[in-house]
Amino acid sequence: MEKPFRAVIIGAGPTGLALGNMLAAAHIDFVILERHDRVVTESGACIMLWPHSTRVLDQLGLLDAAAAESLGLHSKVTIDPLGRQQSEYPTFQWIGENHGYPTLHLPRTRLTKLLYEGLGEHRSKIKVSSSISAIDANEDGVCVTLSDGSMETGSIVIGCDGVHSHVREYTKADGVPFEASPQVTQFECLFGTASSIPGLQRGIFWESHSPGMVTQFGTSDKIAAFSLFRTLEETATEENRSYDTDSVPRFFKEHGENFIAPGFQVRDLQKHCTWTRLARQPEGSAKLWYHGRIVLCGESAVQMSSVMGMGFNAALQSAVCLANSLYEVTRQTSPNPTVEVLTGIFGDYQQRRETETVEIKDVSANYIRAMTSSSWLTMMVIKYLLPWLWGEKSMMKKLGTESISHGRTLSFIPYQDKHGLIPWRS
């Protein structure tokens, strides 16, 4: 008898866990293989979820739990490197009013916990300490060999294994590799979490811009989160991405005088830090997101600067698109679709998601370059001329109309949409 359809997801990061929640709701069998020994670990940056993402969380029944974990930021305040306030707008409140769903800011640990707990009884489908060493794919299915020699079989492999994806590099039996455009990077970011900062205003997302640097920071009564971006002196490739043990203290020392909120400098932040990481910010996209029974989703397919807070939001949209297609195909065809059928589905998936995601990547790339520009003319245009011409509210309306309102939902979960000033297009 033919085996039922089963997806082998590689990686229990936000994308793999979100996809697991979606496949569980679609009654599609899956396993998630994670190389670390735990799913929820203290790690990662604060992830801003835009309304097209909180809409999907609502469909999955996770919105209230997500809101409870959010830093509760409603306004954006820009300051200069000396800590002087330049502008204040209720940006996140406006975005919420535009779309009927909130923007939420969740430290990655809280986001993965939320998605992990959302799996309920399906949590047993996650296998930790499972690093892949080989993938065999043929006409009948896939077989993933793990580094301990054990195997997982299924119908497809979904590579949710992040920036340094092993699945992306995987060469199929016919020798055709996934070709990725070179992942180069001109920026690095020191990010992490800190204990709640006493005396600083709550509900504010503080952002500062100066030549070569952008800082983002917010604190709630329980936790603070920060991302400090800086331009690298030389464009780096993936080969030379390692840091030594002094890199983080050196970063703090070099930028200790920078203000990240009024009266609060980088060196003050250092004393409160509970977790930090310095990492390059690769920008690139895989040319081919699929091959045979193997498909990429999330940062394994497209990597972008995180300055606009769009990477996971884009990944979640890709996961929705993929889950909808898998739901349709498993309903319409015999349990195990042929490679030909899958190639059609995956090709369609890439076509629909690539243009949108690469566009977001490019906007993020332009934004960080403009914000860190050492050209005063560019800085003046971005900081004064554009806001004066457009205004923050109009810019959020434009972004909402052109991008956020096109967000997708899961076709297989009956759902009553909430609405704001800008109608949903899909």
Ligand X SMILES: Cc1cc2nc3c(=O)[nH]c(=O)nc-3n(C[C@H](O)[C@H](O)[C@H](O)COP(=O)(O)OP(=O)(O)OC[C@H]3O[C@@H](n4cnc5c(N)ncnc54)[C@H](O)[C@@H]3O)c2cc1C
Which positions touch ligand X (CB under 6 A)? 10-16, 33-36, 45, 47-48, 131-132, 160-163, 166, 189, 191, 227, 298-299, 306, 309-313, 315
Whole-number minimum distance, CB 383 to ligand X, in Å? 21
How is 190-214 classified by DSSP, letter by letter?
A: EEEEEEPPTTSPTTEEEEEEETTEE
Whole-number minimum distance, CB 9 to ligand X, in Å? 9
Spatial separation of the C-alpha atoms in residues 85 and 358, rounded to whole Å? 33
Whole-number minimum distance, CB 107 to ligand X, in Å? 10
Which tokens is 240 given?
């030379």
Alpha-carbon separation of residue 426 from 226, 294, 409, 417 (angstroms): 33, 27, 8, 11
Whole-number minimum distance, CB 311 to ligand X, in Å? 3
- Inter-helix orientation angle 51-59/91-99, to 10°: 50
Whole-number minimum distance, CB 332 to ligand X, in Å? 28
Residue 115, H or E segment: helix 108-118
**Which among 383, 301, 412, 316 has a CA at the least distance from the CA of 57?**
316
**Shorter beta-carbon distance to ligand X: residue 131 or 409:** 131
Whole-number minimum distance, CB 132 to ligand X, in Å? 5
Which residue's beta carbon is nearest to the bound ligand X? Answer: 13
**Shorter beta-carbon distance to ligand X: residue 10 or 323:** 10
3-state helix, strand, coil in the chain (%, to 5): 40, 25, 35
**Shorter beta-carbon distance to ligand X: residue 100 or 218:** 218
Task: Name the DSSP class of 33.
Answer: E
First to last CA, the chain: 39
Spatial separation of the C-alpha atoms in residues 398 and 98, rounded to whole Å? 10
**Shorter beta-carbon distance to ligand X: residue 341 or 363:** 363
Whole-number minimum distance, CB 91 to ligand X, in Å? 14
**Shorter beta-carbon distance to ligand X: residue 339 or 352:** 352
In this structure, the number of other CB atoms found within 10 A of the CB of residue 166 comes to 18
- Scanning the structure block, which residue is given the tokens 């294994």? 161
Whole-number minimum distance, CB 161 to ligand X, in Å? 4
**Which among 108, 109, 122 has a CA at the least distance from the CA of 20?**
122
Spatial separation of the C-alpha atoms in residues 263 and 278, rounded to whole Å? 24
Which tokens is 267 given?
């060196």
**Shorter beta-carbon distance to ligand X: residue 32 or 345:** 32
**Which among 137, 115, 140, 106 has a CA at the least distance from the CA of 32?**
115
Whole-number minimum distance, CB 55 to ligand X, in Å? 14
Whole-number minimum distance, CB 226 to ligand X, in Å? 9
**Shorter beta-carbon distance to ligand X: residue 132 or 365:** 132
Contacts of 172 by beta carbon, 8 Å cutoff, 6+ apart: 137, 291, 292, 294
**Shorter beta-carbon distance to ligand X: residue 33 or 365:** 33
**Shorter beta-carbon distance to ligand X: residue 115 or 337:** 115
- Asked if residue 2 lies in contact with residue 334, where contact means CB atoms within 8 angstroms, the answer is yes
Spatial separation of the C-alpha atoms in residues 297 and 161, rounded to whole Å? 8
**Shorter beta-carbon distance to ligand X: residue 219 or 336:** 219
Whole-number minimum distance, CB 340 to ligand X, in Å? 28
Alpha-carbon separation of residue 387 from 319, 381, 383, 393, 394 (angstroms): 34, 9, 7, 9, 9
Spatial separation of the C-alpha atoms in residues 345 and 348, rounded to whole Å? 5
**Shorter beta-carbon distance to ligand X: residue 103 or 155:** 103
